[in-house]
Amino acid sequence: MIFISVSTVSEFLCFLVALLCLYKDKAVAWKLFIPFLLLTCVVELIGIYVREFVHIPNYAIYNFYILFECVFTSYFFFYLYKAYQYKLKWLLIWVTLFAVMYIAELLYNNFGNFVSITASVMSVVFVLASLYFYYIKLKDEHFEPLVFSAPFWWVSGTLFFYFGSTVCNNFSKYLAMYEIIAYKYSVRYLIFNLLNIIMYIFWSYAFICRYRQRKSSPLLG
């Protein structure tokens, strides 16, 4: 029962929706959500197992997971921008910058803590990427029914998650030290539960939109 939490359930349900809606999709970027969400579920379960049964901090698992999170999310943003003549060099510059920050922070922490600064910077970059997507959509003269647009809802879910987590990320060390003393429940845990629910609902809806789009336009798969 300990493995069943708001986060694990929402992640698993989103994975199921992705599996059902995207397994026949022709676009690799969309199809990659299936292994990515599967990895997320597995990492979450391992994280709980290590914390509850091995009784050691689980930051190493999340340090490993953040690599996939960053690369996949960045690649997907690039996939969305590609239609608007976005250059590959920006993706490569960002991934290189992320790698440098990640390694530097790992070394600085002596591999003994979560790479929270890198995670914070990554959140800010993803927030900017989401805002840039809205900017492109506002500027685009061509009308697209956004209510049924899969990329729009995926970006919206991503924006909610990374924007909402900015405060928690910035105060992560403070919260880790004092929140259990001050409150019975972890504020960080509650906020991340809420953010996960919002993000995975938006993503699931995006996958459904993508499925509908694929059904109405056979070229997509």
Partner 1 sequence: MQISSKEIISLIGLTSIIFLIAPTFLIVYVLSYNRRKKKHQEETMLMQKNYETELLKTQMEVQEQTLKTVAYDLHDNIGQLLSLTTITLSSINLNDSENTAGKIALIEDLTLRSIKEVKALSRLLHGEEIVSRGLKAAIEFELEWLKRSDKFRIIFDHNVTVYNIDSAKETILFRLFQEIINNIIQHAKATEININLQTITDSLRLTISDDGIGFNVDEILNRKAGMGLHNIMKRSAMINGTASIISTPLKGATITINVPYK
Which residues in this chain contact partner 1 in the complex, by CB under 8 A? 131, 134, 137-138, 141, 143-147, 152, 156, 159-160, 163-168, 171, 174-175, 178-179, 181-183, 187, 190-191, 194-195, 198
Torsion sign, CA atoms 33, 35, 39, 41: positive
66/168 with CB nearer partner 1: 168
63/156 with CB nearer partner 1: 156
Please, what is the minimum distance in Å from the beta carbon of residue 207 to partner 1? 18
Please, what is the minimum distance in Å from the beta carbon of residue 124 to partner 1? 12
Q: Is residue 199 within 8 Å of residue 161, measured between CB atoms?
A: yes
Please, what is the minimum distance in Å from the beta carbon of residue 7 to partner 1? 16
Please, what is the minimum distance in Å from the beta carbon of residue 193 to partner 1? 12
63/196 with CB nearer partner 1: 196
Please, what is the minimum distance in Å from the beta carbon of residue 92 to partner 1? 28
38/213 with CB nearer partner 1: 213
68/193 with CB nearer partner 1: 193
In sequence order, which ranges of 23-87 are alpha helices (DSSP H)? 28-31, 33-49, 59-82
Q: How far apart are CA 152 and CA 110, in angstroms?
A: 40
Q: How far apart are CA 27 and CA 35, in angstroms?
A: 14
Q: How far apart are CA 190 and CA 14, in angstroms?
A: 19
18/199 with CB nearer partner 1: 199
Torsion angle of the four alpha carbons 43, 206, 164, 106, in this order, in degrees rounded to the nearest 10:
30
Q: How far apart are CA 33 and CA 7, in angstroms?
A: 17
The single-letter DSSP state of residue 51 is: I
Compute CA distances 22 → 25, 116, 168, 202, whole Å: 5, 32, 32, 15
